[in-house]
Structure 1
């Protein structure tokens, strides 16, 4: 039996229940994992609230975890029993002490990376990586805007971008997070609750605007992100924490020849080769200290309700994990 966090309906954090659930034996292409640390990500709030629907109830939540392979099913060649592995963005159910998982979506954890570090950085780091290196061709000296720069993905993106010579202007919802964003490497920070983002960006870029704006906030910031773009700039939307952005007419992009895209991680790690190459790049960045893999907050497994309250209410900076 495993202890698993499941929901029986959508709602506030209190709908999360820790229940005893049979794990079963791994089938063909599967492994059974004993999990050690679970990453916490805002996307899990979307599933709990019903922003992203689940197939049925009850349903387990969680997108990311690290642990040890306990048993392998038939036709498994990617990993073996005893391997330390990490995964993200596959079948839901990471909020668990044990689970079954597809072997071909597991990534071995390097010897110089702990389980805690892997669970802290994997999903957020893989997301920051494709945003930084694959969605828009960014070069040293380019200026970009990152909405919610003190969040889990934002902190990794900012630090990694600084190492590559890319200037990041970060926005924050509270002034208390400004010091954290500057420490991560923002060249400037904007309190979007008090300042006009577009005006401040133009003042910081000699009137040009930024080459790209990265926005996971959604409705509350979407128009400000568009306003901050330079000619031929790109708005990279990858989340909607504040709700669905209002509709955008394509003709509105014409005066500055702007681009808008919504990339998702599974497309950038669709093959096992892509997954392993991206993970290798991320772990190399951790080793070079371009990426800080230390969690800012560690919750006990039984504190999952409080952890989701903190995520939803913006009370976290950087990354947080559950310890099993």
Structure 2
């Protein structure tokens, strides 16, 4: 018989504008799945625009978020590698981590070392796995490289700067304010450019004595794309992993030819397609967090029942660092 999840409070996308939650009874198949009691989940700063014409109960938009840590309470028959009582984390698919009890494909459940704080893991899991594949696989940053990180004080940007610094790279970061410049320095940026005060292309050219950088990590998109290409050295890598300012305007392939540039738009999902890839990436992430190479800033914790307030504070810029949601019945 399939287990049922009784009395579970679920937050749907349309409900982050209110304090309500819904309770449902759900029957499931346990084939290749595990059930976890959620310990912590990360609240994202990404703004969710309320869909026009959606139903008031939110059922047509689904449960939000895709990153959590929990303790395993049930395991499908015949599964190995995970057992009841294990603390596991996941990031990516499936969508739906704003929930007290979660059903996960066993293939995405990553064992968390006992010494690690679930709140810290929840705050870095998705961002950290992203930083890992960007630095270690998409373009392998090495000692002696000079790299440019846009949004250096952001969630992924902060980890990129810390990690790249530990690898021996010279890190150049762009930020929008003096306060963010201070944080970027703390996170290992050797050169911080406040792009609201100076042209980052001119600044990078000066920093590198006209040579350019080996790789640009760009999560901004349209506003920085052309300038980022100009910052690259011959055979440099342009890595776009987000587009907070919108999608870049199209360019002809011939625009890459003068410096034989490489251009890629990677995604975490294609770099963790296999279980082995996922475990290797998570293992490296956890090791760097445990050793202090990577520092998480968990400055705000909210009960899951206050998810709407957490998102309101995020959108009104009342928070700094990571925001973590914790189910109301979890002891802290």
Q: Same fold (TM over 0.5)?
A: yes
The answer on 1:225 being equivalent to 2:228 is yes
Match status 1:89 vs 2:92: yes
**Counterpart among 133, 152, 156 of residue 149 in structure 1:** 152
Contact 1:6–1:16 (8 Å) recurs in 2: no
* Contact preservation (8 Å) 2:141, 2:167: no
* Matching of residue 111 in structure 1 with residue 114 in structure 2: yes
Say which of 277, 289, 294 aligns to 2:292: 289
The 8 Å contact of residues 152 and 317 in structure 1, kept in 2 or not, is answered as: no
Q: Secondary structure at the match of 1:296?
A: strand
The answer to whether structure 1 residue 135 and structure 2 residue 141 are counterparts is no
* 1:234 correspondence with 2:237: yes
Instruction: Write out per-residue CA displacement over residues 115-172 of structure 1, whole angstroms, 9 at most, x where no aligned residue.
Output: 1111111111111111111111322021111010111111111111111111111111
Tell me, what secondary structure is at the counterpart of 1:74? coil
**Cα distance in 1 for residues equivalent to 2:93 and 2:229:** 31
Partners of 1:187 and 1:139 in 2: how far apart?
15
After TM superposition, the runs of 4+ consecutive aligned structure 1 residues lying more than 6 A away are: none
Q: Which residue of 1 aligns with 2:186?
A: 183
1:243 to 246, 252, 255: 246
Q: Which residue does the alignment assign to 1:166?
A: 169
Alignment deviations for residues 244-282 of structure 1 (CA, whole Å, 9 cap, x no partner): 111122111112221110111111111111111111111
Q: Which has the larger radius of gyration?
A: 2
Question: Which whole-Å CA distance do the structure 1 matches of 2:150 and 2:20 have between them?
Answer: 32
Deviates more, 1:15-24 or 1:190-199: 15-24
TM-score by length of 1: 0.90
CA distance in 2, matches of 1:318, 1:204: 28
How has the CA–CA distance of structure 1 residues 157 and 256 changed in structure 2, closer, same or farther, with 3 Å as cutoff?
Answer: same
- Give the CA deviation at 1:312: 4.9
Shift of 1:8: 4.8
Output aligned runs, 1:184-199, within 5 Å.
184-199=187-202
Deviation for aligned residue 1:175:
2.3
CA gap of 1:171–1:123, structure 2 versus 1, over 3 A, is same
Q: Which residue of 1 aligns with 2:269?
A: 266
1:319 aligns with 2:322: yes
Task: Please state whether the residue corresponding to 2:239 is helix, strand or coil.
Answer: strand
Moved more, 293-302 or 108-117: 293-302
Structure 1 residue runs without a partner (length 5+): 51-55
Q: Is the 8 A contact 1:7 1:16 kept in 2?
A: no
Query: RMSD of aligned C-alpha atoms?
Result: 2.2
Contact 1:8–1:57, Cα closer than 8 Å, also in 2? no
Corresponding residue for 1:7? 13
Of 92, 102, 106, the residue aligned with 1:99 is 102
What's the CA shift for 1:181?
Answer: 0.7
Distance across 2 between alignment mates of 1:235 and 1:311: 30
> How has the CA–CA distance of structure 1 residues 264 and 49 changed in structure 2, closer, same or farther, with 3 Å as cutoff?
farther
